[in-house]
Structure formats: C-alpha cells, structure tokens
Amino acid sequence: MARARLFAALSMFALLGGGCDSYRASFHNGRGLEYFRAGYPEAAAGSFRQALAVYPDLAEAHSNLGLAYEAQGMQAEAIASYRAALRIDPSLAVAHYNLAAAYDRLGKVPQAIKEYSNAVERDPDDVAARVRLAALLVEDRQARRALPHARVGADQAPWRADAWTALGLALVQLDRPEEAVQAFAHGADLAPGDTQLALHLGTACLAAGDLRAAELHLRVLTRQQPGFPEAHNNLGVVLHRRGDFAGAIGALEQALALRPHYVDAAVNLGDVYRDMGLWDPAATWYQRARDQDPSSAGAWRGLAQLFQAQGHEDLAAWSLREALRWQPDNPEVLAGLALLYAAGAEPDPTPLDPAARAAHRQAQAERAREAVVFARMAVELAEDDSRSIYMAKLAEVQAQDDDLAGAIATLQRALAEDPGDAALEFQLAELEAR
C-alpha cells in the first residue's frame, strides 16, 4: 500500500514571493511539518490551518493538512484537502499522489488508478506511484496498461520487490508465464521471506509448464508456511497435473482443513476425483463448492462436465444456465453454454406427432440462435488478452450452425488480433477445407 507524502517547506519563499504574509504562511506550514514528523497530527493540522488563514491559496499547505487529517482518521476531510490543493495547482504531483493513496486505502480502485496516473503524468520519475499504479491496474484486470508502468518501475528501481511482483502479475495476465517466472524470481531474491511472492513464483512455473520447478517452490513454501492454505491448494493443482492423484488429494484436503470454506480448493478436489473417474465424490465436492458460493463458475462448470461425460447434455446446459444466473458476464460460462446449445444440448423427445416434431425443430433453431448470441457476448466480455480464445469458440458455434463464412471471418479476425497462433491457424485451415 502506498504511503502518503509531506510537501517540504524548503521552497516556500520562492513560491510565495516576499512579504510578511508569505513569511508567516511559510513559517506555519514549516512548523506543521515539524509537528507531523514528531507524531502530533492535531498540532500539525492547527499549524497548516494557520498557514491557510494567512495564505488560502497555498496548495502545499492544503496537501499537508490532508495528511494531518488522515493521521487522525478523518478520511473525508483529508480527501477534501487534497482536492482543494489540486483546484489551486492541478500540477502538484504530491497532492495527486496523496489523493491516490487515500483512495487506495479506502479500496476505491478506479479513483486511485486515476490519481496515480495523474501523479505519474506530472512526475514520470515517481517510481512509488508508478509501481502502485501497475499493481492496481493488474488488480483491475488491465494488464496491458499495467505492463509498461511495471517495466519502468523495475528498471528505475530494480531493488524493489513490489515492482517485480507487479511486472510478474501483469505478464501472467497477458499469458506470458515464462517471462513472469523471471520477474517473480528477481522479486523473490530481493524478498526471500515474502510468502505471497513465493506463491506467485510457484504458480507462474505451473502456468509455464515447468511442473517440476512449480512443485519444488510450492513444497518449500508449504514447509516454511504450513498454515498457508493457498500454497497447499496450488501444490495440489501441480500434483494433479503431474498425475499424482494421491498427493493432490492430500494437499487439497490440507488446504481445506486450514480453510474449510475454501471454494477453489473444493473445486480442484472435485477435478481430481473427476479425472480419476470417481464421479460421485467429484460431484460431492462440486456441490459443496456450489453450496458455499453459488456464484462459483468453477463448481457449476465441474458439474456440467460430469453431466456431459455421462451423456446428460441437457443437465450440463442446465448447470451452465444456473452459473449464468450468478455470473451473467462470465465469458467462459457463456461460451460453454453456447457450445452445448449449438450441439443440441436440449433433450430430443423424438415425438411422433408431426406438430410436436415441428415445435421441437423450432425450439432447436431458437437454441442455435441463442448459441450464437451467447458466443458473441463471451467475445465482447472477454479480457483483451483472451479475446482470441472466445473468438475461436464463436467460430465453432457458427460452424455448427452451418455459417461457414461467418466462422472463417471470425477466425481471420482472431488471427489479426493474435497472429501466429497455431491452434487458430489449424482451426481456420480445417474450415476452409470443407
């Protein structure tokens, strides 16, 4: 979390010019700084107010007063003071930074991003503002915007572990795990006791396909921090990928013992049992995750996969529709439901009555149209770095709906956004060969 900054009084005479009022305002502001540094925010606030009584347009005193208010827990007054400083002098980088830090502490991410951006624009060498901006952009799933700030932060301050962490997280979101591993490794060297950074490193190794390194890092972390449920969960995912089902179950059960309502761990445990062909325990864990968090897309997708594997595509579609009730903007759920609808997921009663048969055909046609709508929505809602994945699913739905021209056009757009993607090129070649 960013720390607020005082504005030093060294240049007050130059800013204010000569005169008795200028001298008095500078004196009170300087005395306020001394009180604040000594740990007396109430006295500091009184001095800053005295400075402003003499010289109301002293932007720096407004910014400093905001810090004194924050130190007393007066968040609203602090924000008002920072804004007052910026109305007087919009170029005052320290006031933008302090306002951003205030929003940051309140969890107001969009406002904090805006003000950190303003601070960096006014002072491009402000590494702290740049690194925190990158971290918040990553948190807000804006990895493309975060990446250049994180790179500059790591270049300008290579000793800052948080700069390497922000860089690694941005690279993970952009699906560049090999580069993320290098960034996290730099950060881990600088902060060997940072458990969250160690977790990121192990997880990035997993995403990069280096299961051996991922297991090594996560095992070390679970030994160093046996009460860290995320480490046990991620180790369970790695062991699952390595085919060590017994080890994966043990790690995931440990994560759940530490945090009984750990929804992701319950979903991951369901995945292990599903891949072992043990559908009843898999369903039990998916249902447990769903009951604990009805909005868990992973739980609903897990149930849908079980139903689909058992040939119950209608129930699989029902599971995804339920997921859609909770997460109407989840592109993965929309795309999965679109593919099921396109494949005719609704049960076929094979009616003998001609009128019923016609009604059934009409319902199937409506489902096919819904499939295309859902697939298009998934593309629109997807993050920039995953749009091509959902465009490939849209093309698959269009092809199943006999819209080959539309499917080919969709894949061509996907390749324009993600050139050189072998899977997209193969899918396009298959369609063009029809």
Residue at token pair 């999965």: 336
pTM over 0.75? The answer is no
Task: Reduce the DSSP state of residue 208 to 3 states and report it.
Answer: coil
**Could you read off the pLDDT of 3-16 as tens digits, one per residue?**
555 554 433 333 44
The burial class, CB within 10 Å (0-12 / 13-18 / 19+), for 85 is buried
pLDDT in tens, 77-123: 999 999 999 999 999 999 999 999 999 999 999 999 999 999 999 99
Q: How confident is the model at residue 426 (pLDDT cuts 50, 70, 90)?
A: confident
User: Considering only CA atoms, which of 129, 98, 130 is closest in space to residue 5?
Assistant: 98
Q: How confident is the model at residue 427 (pLDDT cuts 50, 70, 90)?
A: confident
pLDDT tens per residue, range 387-415: 788 888 888 878 877 788 888 888 888 88
DSSP state of 352: S
**What is the pLDDT, as a whole number, of residue 5?**
57
Interval 246-280: pLDDT, tens: 999 999 999 999 999 999 999 999 999 999 999 99
Lowest mean pLDDT among 25-34, 306-315, 352-361: 352-361
Q: Do 98 and 105 touch, CB atoms closer than 8 A?
A: no
Query: Residue 135 and residue 116: Cα distance in Å, rounded?
Result: 11
What CA–CA distance (Å, rounded) separates 256 from 241? 19
372 has pLDDT over 80: no
- pLDDT, position 428: 81
Select the more confidently predicted residue: 136 or 25.
136
- What are the Cα distances from residue 307, in Å, to 280, 297, 327, 393? 11, 15, 20, 20
Confidence band of 362 (pLDDT split at 50, 70, 90): low
Coil/strand/helix, residue 312: coil
Encoded tokens for 245: 């089902």
- Of 241, 252, 242, 319, residue with least CA distance to 283: 319
CB neighbours (10 Å) of residue 13?
Answer: 13
Give the pLDDT confidence of 169-223 residue by residue, as tens digits. 999 999 899 999 999 999 999 999 899 999 999 999 999 999 999 999 999 999 9
Query: For 46-62, what is each residue's pLDDT tens digit?
Result: 988 998 898 888 888 89
Whole-angstrom distance, CA of residue 99 vs CA of residue 382: 31
Tokens 């003998």, located at residue: 352
| Low-confidence winner among 121-130, 236-245, 318-327, 381-390 (lowest mean pLDDT) | 381-390
Using an 8 Å Cβ cutoff, are 319 and 302 in contact?
Answer: no
Question: In the structure encoding, which two tokens stand for residue 314, read together?
Answer: 């209608």
Instruction: Report how far apart the first and last C-alpha atoms of the chain are (Å, whole number).
Output: 56
pLDDT band at 351 (very low <50, low <70, confident <90, very high): very low
- Average pLDDT value over all residues in the chain: 86
Mean pLDDT of 357-381: 65
